[in-house]
């Protein structure tokens, strides 16, 4: 009985370390490549890190925007990623950018970002609103410099308007006029 309990506790600790490691290392990151000194989008192999977490910390890249052309690199960027794992995580970079901003279309302030659904979008000059999945990670810093934030609701409405213009009727809103639901 005692041995079973000890084994169960040990397995729980190992599993907890693996899950914690996986959660820490999952997601796209934007780093400055030590070789080219240019931004690169990378993804750490979170499964590998989780598998080896109970034994020791072991990181390797799963993907890099410079691959396959430079797939033989020494992955020196892993030192920088390990030193600033949260700061280079793409969703954290974007969350900081939206912080304190308002939607360019409706003026509603952004609160906490929900990255599972209802993700905010953006507009860049000369283009309609788009989602972050349409932007390559290595271009995120350049895009952030010129983009304006758009909330999920406005992005969906604008996407619908572009896709089905024949179904949209514009009725100008007049200040002081109550919104009527029929």
pLDDT in tens, 2-33: 788 888 888 888 888 888 888 888 889 999 99
Rounded to an integer, the average pLDDT of 66-73 is 81
pTM score, whole prediction: 0.77
Task: Supply the range of the domain harboring residue 143.
Answer: 90-167
Rounded to 5 degrees, φ, ψ at 130 are -145, 165
pLDDT in tens, 112-133: 888 888 889 999 998 888 898 8
If asked whether residues 58 and 115 sit together in one domain, one would say no
Residue 27 resides in a domain: yes
Predicted local confidence at residue 85, as pLDDT: 80
Q: How many CB atoms within 10 Å of residue 147?
A: 20
> Do 163 and 94 fall into the same domain?
yes
Residue 78 sits in the same domain as residue 94: no
Domain boundary among 83, 114, 135: 83
Residue 75 clears pLDDT 50, i.e. is over it: yes
User: Within a domain: residue 176?
Assistant: no
In a domain, 23, yes or no: yes
Domain count, the chain: 2
How far, rounded to the nearest angstrom, does the alpha carbon of residue 28 sit from its chain's CA centroid?
7
- Which of 2-11, 68-77, 100-109 tops mean pLDDT? 100-109
């Amino acid at each position: 009985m005692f041995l079973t309990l000890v084994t169960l506790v040990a397995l729980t600790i190992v599993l907890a370390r693996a899950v914690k490691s996986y959660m820490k290392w999952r997601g796209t990151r934007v780093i400055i490549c030590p070789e080219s000194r240019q931004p690169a989008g990378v993804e750490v192999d979170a499964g590998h890190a989780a598998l080896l977490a109970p034994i020791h910390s072991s990181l390797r890249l799963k993907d890099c925007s410079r691959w396959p052309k430079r797939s033989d690199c020494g992955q020196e960027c892993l030192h920088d990623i390990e030193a600033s794992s949260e700061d280079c995580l793409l969703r954290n970079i974007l969350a900081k950018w939206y912080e304190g901003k308002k939607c360019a279309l409706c003026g509603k302030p952004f609160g906490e970002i929900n990255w599972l659904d209802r993700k905010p979008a953006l507009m860049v000059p000369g283009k309609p609103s788009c989602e972050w999945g349409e932007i390559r990670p290595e271009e995120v810093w350049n895009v952030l410099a010129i983009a304006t934030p758009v909330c999920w609701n406005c992005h969906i409405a604008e996407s619908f308007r572009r896709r089905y213009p024949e179904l949209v009727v514009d009725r100008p809103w007049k200040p002081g006029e109550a919104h009527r639901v029929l």
